[in-house]
Structure 1
């Protein structure tokens, strides 16, 4: 039986809340977080792990390693697996800590699987804004980093399109790439660089961060304290950008949730404590797009995955394979996947 404790993303609540304790006048709270961010290739491989807590711990100690089976740049798609899969991790994570389980499973299914680290601070800042911690930079910059990586995958593999999988912020970065960085061509969907978008716990319409986002608003409205800046200093630009009503999400969703020619599978878990409320992850299909909004627990009450452990769920892997090729992968797994705080 696998027990998954509270993970890096959830623990970040404590660090974010510390911004309130630090106070607006302390040097740390007033410091501006580094604005620049970068992407980086993976280097070497970590072990295949089925437990989220173990993967997070290993990833913190080895931030650059890749999941087993991924980033084989000699891999070439075949007729049964025509599109490479690009995995995009979430906030405060790494390619390994997010996909130590899912990456190897997709590779075993015959796919060329690629992943990278993005949104890392160019220089060390406060709290989680560190060069070894991913996805703290501006979402717009991270989408540009994803665009360059997808182009590299397409060029190297010779494929016409990729399928993308995003966890948490990773789903938003994918959608930003599609809309603003050349991933999709609404005027000619046949030129889209992406065929399928599969997300897990993506903050598509913003998150309250289990009330933290609302709390920041209360402090500002009731006490006149704007704590967004000190909080952003500690958790990074992307953390604030994912709050409900943020300008980047407002622009992203303006004109509709989807783009033509793309198949979306949007997976939520009712036990999500980070992307809240969990239903805000769901998308509404626009012209020419297909959306499958899926609750992980539908048909499988055994799976009680939370925000981070959902990408370590066998059911989540089977949902991805089914979305990409339902004929080859018609069945969905249903196994016990608990988590404990």
Structure 2
């Protein structure tokens, strides 16, 4: 049975993997799997390892793509499971790609669990290291879920603004989430003077979890400062079928430097959910356009499901 399962998984991965040329770098092309199953498989085989195409510290940014791209996973995830699609895709398109697993309280827990202020300090150190090793002046950020919100603290409170050029978000939650009415319970605990007890109980396992909730102290402080840095170009990519960011419109931002994209507004064949955006061909087209608007190509419409995109163009 295990052998049949492994064979079936390998076959499925082969069906939804589209090779792509390694633009500009001249290096070998990397396969790009358009399924989230690739992340699950990689995390079993090489847990915690950087995804293909990421963390090549000898990579020299090109004139066309002078900014290294840093990939930031969501809560309860890591760099291995999150970026099996986007890391090789970006590397094939000539970017220097870097990723890290942040916010790990202790092994073997996944990342994104520590309070986001602490994770933002980890990001700050990582950005400085990427800039030092590559000689670049700025980086671009590509995040998913918590990886869209946590970097905003780095930008707005830890001096990251001058070091970031483009900030691209998959399933952002700028106004938090009301998932399973947890945020309402959090607000009730505050009204009853029990917020410290609530924070302590939840924080034992996940210090960042309360911070996602609509009305949290973390979000209130961030909004008081201002979510968006006026010197950075922001792109927010959302799906109407997001089951973690509720409502999905929490990811909509406002400002002259903010561009919002709801995938189903442009592609009725897109049924991707929160996690599905990590292997979504339609979202990938918007990411590439956001990172390189001068050379942006038209974004197509590919049938996409919660586990990835089916039959993406080669």
CA contact (8 A) 1:201 1:278 kept: yes
Deviation of 1:256 (Å): 2.6
Corresponding position of 1:301: 268
Superposition misfits of 4+ residues, deviation over 2 angstroms: 46-50, 60-63, 210-222, 224-234
In the aligned structure 1, how far is the partner of 2:169 from the partner of 2:57?
A: 24
Structure 1 residues 158, 219: closer, same or farther in 2, change over 3 A?
closer
Deviation of 1:82 (Å): 1.0
Corresponding position of 1:292: 259
Corresponding position of 1:139: 116
Corresponding position of 2:253: 283
Deviation per CA, 1:56-111: give whole Å up to 9, x if none.
35325633111111111000011111111011111000112111111111111110
Corresponding position of 2:99: 115
> Is residue 261 of structure 1 aligned with residue 228 of structure 2?
no
SS in 1 for 2:179: coil
Deviation of 1:158 (Å): 0.5
In structure 1, list runs of 5 or more residues that go unmatched. Answer: 4-45, 124-129, 185-191
In the aligned structure 2, how far is the partner of 1:193 from the partner of 1:152?
A: 12
> Is residue 70 of structure 1 aligned with residue 54 of structure 2?
yes
CA contact (8 A) 2:73 2:101 kept: yes
In the aligned structure 2, how far is the partner of 1:271 from the partner of 1:141?
A: 30
SS in 1 for 2:74: coil
Structure 1 residues 180, 219: closer, same or farther in 2, change over 3 A?
closer
Structure 1 residues 75, 54: closer, same or farther in 2, change over 3 A?
closer
SS in 1 for 2:155: helix
Any residues of structure 2 matched to 1:169-318 within 5 Å, and which? 169-184=146-161, 192-215=162-185, 229-234=200-205, 236-285=206-255, 290-318=257-285
Ranked by relative contact order (alpha carbons within 8 Å, sequence separation 6 or more), the top structure is: 1
In structure 2, list runs of 5 or more residues that go unmatched. Answer: 1-11, 14-29, 308-314
TM-score normalised by structure 1 residue count: 0.75
SS in 2 for 1:237: coil
> Is residue 325 of structure 1 aligned with residue 292 of structure 2?
yes
Count of residues in correspondence between the two structures: 278
In the aligned structure 1, how far is the partner of 2:136 from the partner of 2:116?
A: 26
In the aligned structure 1, how far is the partner of 2:290 from the partner of 2:36?
A: 23
> In proportion to residue count, which structure has more helix?
2
In the aligned structure 2, how far is the partner of 1:207 from the partner of 1:269?
A: 14
Deviation per CA, 1:220-278: give whole Å up to 9, x if none.
879x89655433334x0111111111111111111432112110001111000101111
In the aligned structure 2, how far is the partner of 1:261 from the partner of 1:219?
A: 38
Any residues of structure 2 matched to 1:147-166 within 5 Å, and which? 147-166=124-143
In the aligned structure 2, how far is the partner of 1:150 from the partner of 1:56?
A: 27
- Root-mean-square deviation (CA, aligned residues, Å) is 2.5
TM-score normalised by structure 2 residue count: 0.82
SS in 2 for 1:271: coil
